[in-house]
Amino acid sequence: MSSKSFALRGAVALALAALAATGHAQEPNLEKLSAFKTTGTALDIPTIPQTGAQADAIRETLKKIRLPEGFKIDLYAIVPDARNMAVGPTTGVVFVGTRKTKVYAVTDRDKDRVADEVKEFAPSLKFSVPNGVCFSKDGFLYVAEHNRVLVFPAAEYFYEGPDVAAFVVVPQGKLIPTSEESYNHGARVCKIGPDKKMYITLGQPYNVSPTDKLKLYDEVGIGGIIRMDTDGKNREVVARGVRNSGGIAFNPKDGVLWFNDNQVDGMGDTIPPGETNRLTKVGANYGFPWYGGGKVRTAEYKDATPPSDAVFPVLEHDAHAADMGAAFYNGKQFPEKYRGGYFWAQHGSWNRNDAVGARVMWAPVKADGTPGKAEPFAEGWLTADGEYLGRPLDVATLPDGSMLVSDDYVGAIYRISYGK
């Protein structure tokens, strides 16, 4: 029996044990898929058109994007509502989360670095805000929804059809209390760490958390980052005082988790700053809601004593630029200057008189593991008139060393490459 067969059998056993322990019923199709049964879903999955007027218009917009010398940007794929991305470790198939009800699979079959096919992944299942997508090194795809986590062993191979091996990691309603479900800050981000545990962001739903919620949020990890074994066991809160992180990444050199945080709205055009933080101590508190961003105090907590051990950001960014999906560049295509650097997407502001953001940023990483000065890497999606031509959301590296950038406003993924 192959190692993948053993892995699948193990996943089945763990999933069934977890369901038995919680007593939670699952949707009928998920139950069938967990038992390797068919669901009756049509085998022909409709694909998203990749040519035509929309593709032509996107390519015209990309002519306006400014990049360092030697780089170019092209349309990689049209993907509706494209947000967080996970690149398959063996095939390079890109799985794309959304803030709606679908996950997409993006395939470049001929390896010309333009997608040949974009279609819905696991269409027989009902997803709810499946924003967080992340791979383990052994090829298990995890999908963190608003209030559930699923795992798809061998997703790169089963995705061709509508029925895929699928199992529950965290049952519906158990990621956060159902009383705290919200349309605001409910899109999760996940990554598998070097410790082989799964890390998940849990944004809190308010602009500034009310005092009567702090105890619950502290216990659950809402307004923070949690981690757990990939079977859902041994959950713990690893970061608190985080308003709404939209991007996390592990530095491959030292294994330290970096994360972006979107800070308090309505305090003014230039305050508080956006943040990039480093998690160097499990359970560290990053200051929210006492601090609205950086060392700027919130009006709601101005008379309250903040945590004495509050950790302040290693990078501060333009206020309200919406720092989102992040990745360390681990490829070899880009010049040496960028290798090992920290890249992230700025989605763009919504509550400033003068808009800012809508670009890809980067910062070099120094020998001691701390960041150097941040600067724009790709920009031009925000016009001089303050109109968005696109809104970058996440970044990821393809096997050839080029970089993908998702854009949920346009509904596309771009590819940035260097050289010929």
pLDDT score, position 247: 98
Which candidate, 153, 161, 307, 303, places its Cα nearest to that of 223? 307
* Distant-in-sequence, close-in-space partners of 151: CB < 8 Å, separation ≥ 6: 11, 15, 140, 141, 142, 143, 166, 167, 168, 169, 230
How far apart are alpha carbons 87 and 202 in whole angstroms?
A: 23
pLDDT score, position 169: 98
- Structure-block tokens of residue 342: 């920290």
The DSSP secondary structure of 15-64, one letter per residue, reads HHHHHHHHT----HHHHHHHTT------S---B---SSHHHHHHHHHHTT
Q: What are the backbone angles phi and psi of residue 300, rounded to the nearest 5°? A: -65, -25
Other beta carbons within 10 Å of 308: 6
Per residue of the chain (420 residues), give pLDDT as tens: 444 443 444 544 444 444 434 444 568 999 999 999 999 999 999 999 999 999 999 999 999 999 999 999 999 999 999 999 999 999 999 999 999 999 999 999 999 999 999 999 999 999 999 999 999 999 999 999 999 999 999 999 999 999 999 999 999 999 999 999 999 999 999 999 999 999 999 999 999 999 999 999 999 999 999 999 999 999 999 999 999 999 999 999 999 999 999 999 999 999 999 999 999 999 999 999 999 999 999 999 999 999 999 999 999 999 999 999 999 999 999 999 999 999 999 999 998 999 999 999 999 999 999 999 999 999 999 999 999 999 999 999 999 999 999 999 999 999 999 997
Q: pTM of the predicted model, to two decimals?
A: 0.94
How far apart are alpha carbons 263 and 272 in whole angstroms?
A: 7
Q: Cβ(396)–Cβ(87) under 8 Å?
A: yes
DSSP symbol at 24: -
The angle subtended at Cα 55 by Cα 53 and Cα 59, nearest 5°, is 115
pLDDT score, position 26: 65
Question: Which domains, and CATH codes, for the chain?
Answer: 58-86+172-418 (2.120.10.30)
pLDDT score, position 21: 40
Q: Cβ(311)–Cβ(299) under 8 Å?
A: no
